[in-house]
Structure 1
Amino acid sequence: MSRALSRATEQLGQNSDTPRLDAELLMAAALGIGRDRLILDPQPGAVPPVFANYVDRRRQGEPVAYITGQRAFWTIDLVVGPGALIPRPDSETLIASAVEHFAGGPGPRRILDLGTGPGTLLLAALDEWPNATGLGIDASPIALSYAQQNAERLGLSGRAALQLGDWARGIHQRFDLVLCNPPYVATDAETGPGVAEYEPAEALFAGAQGLDDYRKLAPQVGKLIALGGLAAIEIGADQADSAAALFRAEGLKPSIAYDLGGRSRALLIKA
């Protein structure tokens, strides 16, 4: 098995920045175990035939998460697939910022996730705060189907409502925590191998400057945050000034949260 992993790592070296990690995740999926177990307690025996197929798909550029059908995020594992944006570790900055904001208190009771995708931010937040309930909105029926599946798998369907919609249009209540990871990639920007080819364009691209959806969100956000609450809105690493200006024009006062790489990653707006 170690030989198969080494060979796969070599094969993936031209298509991935993390070839060893990819090979391990694909092998674990082929064996039906977690990566931790693969590393800490490797099992003797034949390599499952499906592993070669997984490696070939990855060599063609297909994201690992689509091949394995799942992705870890914060404290939860999510089912993902074509038609749903793959959760990124950088988006955990929004949850970490909310944890800091509500530290020492009871936490948010009502949570809104605009553009929930497969339920990424909403379900991570509900798992973090067991007394909270939440609403996830997305314009994609496919993405919402993954979100519903994830809510049920995680035992959160009783606390998570999911709704087809256009950002916050028609939402008139206020929430303690508003989360949003909108499309923010400029139309002609480089996305890296396999991203634009496989992930849904409507969840990635937002016009020539990547700001189109912030222009829609900026007039809505201030009306959604309850007193003492927080809105955390993801941004691209080069959009701290341009995106924040749109929200300042609406009378809001966003601050910037940074990801673990020190890059601008979220606008934080308090009420």
Structure 2
Amino acid sequence: MAETLRAAIARAAAAFAEFSDTGRLDAELLAAHALGVSRDALLLGRLDDAVPAGFAALVARRLAHEPVAYIVGRRDFWTVSLAVGPGVLVPRADSETLIEAAVEHFAGTAGPRSVLDLGTGSGALLLAALDQWPRARGVGVDASPAAVAIAAGNAAILGMAARAEIRPGGWEGDGRAHDLVLCNPPYVEAGAALPREVAGHEPASALFAGADGLDDYRRLAPLIGAQIAPGGVACIEIGSAQAESAGALFRAAGLRVALRPDLAGRPRCLVVTTA
């Protein structure tokens, strides 16, 4: 009797568990991708199907520690689903902390009218913010041509191309002040040990920031104040051990800094406002 997809998923999940905390989920997402259906559809009625021809190749890629998001070409973030691939970081749930901080800042108001995403990557933060506030318009800048192309494609797929300008650029932004500034800069120390799927596949330029991981905060801190409109806020991602060291750089630039933890209670977001 031919192996069922249910059995193949269980076998793949056990192999993935050697290096992934989400082995079962990984296997289910790959199986759904091989079938061309959603994970929900897989779980609700396709587990007893025959194993699709492409599943083994997808499993082999995952066993080589390629990120699942690169294999299936998509990752959900906040309320949007994004195309991702080599050249941009895989959006992570921890980064949703920045959107949560922005929602809290603008609670009881109409929300931001303009959004700036510095180092936009896949466009995850910008497009999540524009989905959260449908009247807002935004700009995403990135120094990487690959990221600019991917983010622009995501804006188009999500029907936001008229509201989201994606352009090349750096920490200086677009020369204007915005109600909401979002930024997930590189913050990993050079030489830090990372999982193989990160170190071997995701772009180093979006990960590493000098010997102490603070190089890009040093560049950003003197520039960010001029990019925050009156009453606005900048939400900036940090590593879990960088609350004091990164925060001090923005305070030294004359800015007010608060901290928002992620769902695990780890420091994750500097909430920066002008004095």
Q: d(CA) in 2 for partners of 1:214 and 1:113? A: 15
Q: Name 2:214's counterpart in structure 1.
A: 211
Q: Name 2:189's counterpart in structure 1.
A: 186
- Counterpart AA for 1:235: I
Q: 2:204 aligns with which of 201, 210, 214?
A: 201
Q: 1:64 aligns with which of 68, 74, 83?
A: 68
| Aligned sequence identity (%) | 57
Q: Name 1:113's counterpart in structure 2.
A: 117
Q: d(CA) in 2 for partners of 1:36 and 1:215? A: 44
Q: d(CA) in 2 for partners of 1:105 and 1:65? A: 35
TM-score normalised by length of structure 1:
0.97
SS in 2 for 1:223: helix
Q: Name 2:49's counterpart in structure 1.
A: 45
- Counterpart AA for 2:267: S
What is the Cα deviation at residue 44 of structure 1?
4.1
Task: Please list the CA deviations of residues 11-45 of structure 1 after superposition, one character each: whole Å capped at 9, or x if unmatched.
Answer: 21223221111101111111111112222333542
Q: 2:86 aligns with which of 72, 82, 106?
A: 82
Alpha-carbon RMSD across the aligned residues, in angstroms, is: 1.1
What is the Cα deviation at residue 155 of structure 1?
0.2
Q: 2:9 aligns with which of 5, 9, 12?
A: 5
Q: Name 2:254's counterpart in structure 1.
A: 251
Which consecutive residues of structure 1, in runs of 5 or more, have no partner in the other structure? none
Q: d(CA) in 1 for partners of 2:121 and 2:269? A: 18
Q: 1:54 aligns with which of 50, 55, 58?
A: 58
Q: Is the 8 A contact 1:15 1:193 kept in 2?
A: no
Q: d(CA) in 1 for partners of 2:10 and 2:105? A: 44
Q: What is the number of residues matched between the two proteins?
A: 270
Q: d(CA) in 2 for partners of 1:197 and 1:21? A: 21
Task: Please list the CA deviations of residues 220-267 of structure 1 after superposition, one character each: whole Å capped at 9, or x if unmatched.
Answer: 111111111110000000000000011111011111110000000010
TM-score normalised by length of structure 2:
0.96
SS in 2 for 1:176: strand
Task: Please list the CA deviations of residues 147-189 of structure 1 after superposition, one character each: whole Å capped at 9, or x if unmatched.
Answer: 01100100000100011012215x3311000000000000111
Q: 1:237 aligns with which of 235, 240, 243?
A: 240
Q: 1:134 aligns with which of 138, 146, 149?
A: 138
Q: d(CA) in 2 for partners of 1:10 and 1:267? A: 38
SS in 2 for 1:151: helix
Q: Name 2:34's counterpart in structure 1.
A: 30
Which consecutive residues of structure 2, in runs of 5 or more, have no partner in the other structure? none
Task: Please list the CA deviations of residues 49-103 of structure 1 after superposition, one character each: whole Å capped at 9, or x if unmatched.
Answer: 1111111100011000000000000000000001111101000000011111111
- Counterpart AA for 1:7: R
- Counterpart AA for 1:248: R
Q: 1:167 aligns with which of 163, 168, 171?
A: 171
The answer to whether residue 101 in structure 2 is matched with residue 97 in structure 1 is yes
